[in-house]
Amino acid sequence: MKKVEEVVFIEHIENLNFNIIEGSITVYETNHENMVITADLGNCVKDLNIRTQGNQIFVEQKLSYLPIKVSSSKLYIGIPTTYENNLSIKQFTGKLQINQLCLKNVDIKTNVVRVVINDVTFQHLNVKNGNSNCTINLKGKSGNMDIRSLVGKLNLTVLDIGGNLDFKGGNRGGLIKIPEDAPVKIVGDNKCFIEAKTGVQNYEWILKSNVGKIKVVNP
């Protein structure tokens, strides 16, 4: 199993782009002045390609062969506290966890990936979730959110609402938790059960169900 340890110069970078085929991915905040990437590559990944192009950084897994017994990759991405620009992640299978970042735009697209987002602040969050569940816990003021789910269930908790939401649920629906005084108007279809009490309606949340039901409650 190949190990990777890289420190990537991040000054003047505006976009971080990750294209991941498989593995357990953890993205976290670090006090290091540059981005720190450490990885144990599984036996179907031969390398991790890291390149800088203009004001963007691209990180991409390179597949080798498909062995009889697959071992999964583990990838840890430390993003400096000083970086407040854009993050884009595409992942096919595995687990993705993002912790304690303050960013401008966050763009996530997954296929069969269990997604967990904890304590991330942003201006805009765009999530296209595939077949696995997606859990988002936001403690700081949220920005605008655009979330699409194909099959997986969305578990969304927002403690300080600061933007609009457009959510199209998947087959397993969703559970959304907001404070009683949340400044939001919630609009849903006949499979959306809005049980939460809200406050002044400064923002609009539009919920559209698929097969699964969507429920909105106070914690």
Using 50, 70 and 90 to split pLDDT, how confident is the model at 43?
confident
Strand blocks (E) in the chain: 3-8, 15-20, 24-30, 35-40, 45-53, 56-63, 74-80, 86-99, 105-118, 124-129, 134-141, 144-149, 154-160, 165-168, 174-177, 184-188, 192-194, 203-208, 214-217
Please provide the average confidence, as pLDDT, over all residues in the chain.
Answer: 94
Q: pLDDT value at position 72?
A: 84
pLDDT at site 68: 44
pLDDT mean over 134-150: 97
Q: For the residues 109-135, what does the mean pLDDT come to?
A: 97
Q: Residue 159 has what pLDDT? A: 97
* Better pLDDT: 43 or 134: 134
The answer to whether residue 170 scores a pLDDT higher than 90 is yes
Report the pLDDT averaged over residues 93-106: 97
pLDDT of 66 reads 65
Give dist(CA 206, CA 202) in Å, integer.
13
Rounded to an integer, the average pLDDT of 16-39 is 96
Would you state the pLDDT for residue 70?
Answer: 60
pLDDT of residue 2: 84
Q: pTM, whole model, 2 decimals?
A: 0.94
Instruction: Report whether pLDDT(69) > 70.
Output: no
> For the chain, what percent of residues have pLDDT higher than 70?
96
